[in-house]
Amino acid sequence: MIESAPAVQDLLMRECEEFQQLSQRHRELDARLNALTGKLCLSDDERVEEVTLKKKKLAIKDRMAFMIRSH
């Protein structure tokens, strides 16, 4: 039986500690990114941080998607 991606994601959230940690980290990065994007003007350091956060979020999202596909 082929499970749908949302069903697999729910299963992984319940049973896989790595997936839970990745999801939590993704939420944390998203919150910080939202705080930065809410500013009218970013410093040079904040712009670098914004790009870094986006890359980290994407890497986490890719890992989570791989885990879902592999299940």
pTM, two decimal places: 0.89
Q: Report the pLDDT value the prediction gives residue 2, as an integer from 0 to 100.
A: 55
In a domain, 7, yes or no: no
In a domain, 8, yes or no: no
In a domain, 6, yes or no: no
In a domain, 3, yes or no: no
Return d(Cα 3, Cα 5) in angstroms, integer: 7
Rounded to whole angstroms, the maximal C-alpha distance in the chain is 51
Using the CB atoms, write b or e for 20-51: b if 16+ within 10 Å. Answer: eebbeebeebeeebeeeeeeeeeeeeeeeebe
- Which residue segment(s) compose the domain that 56 sits in? 13-70
Structurally, how many domains does the chain consist of? Answer: 1
In a domain, 1, yes or no: no
| pLDDT by 10s per residue, the chain, length 71 | 456 889 999 999 999 999 999 999 999 999 999 999 999 999 999 999 999 999 999 999 999 999 999 98
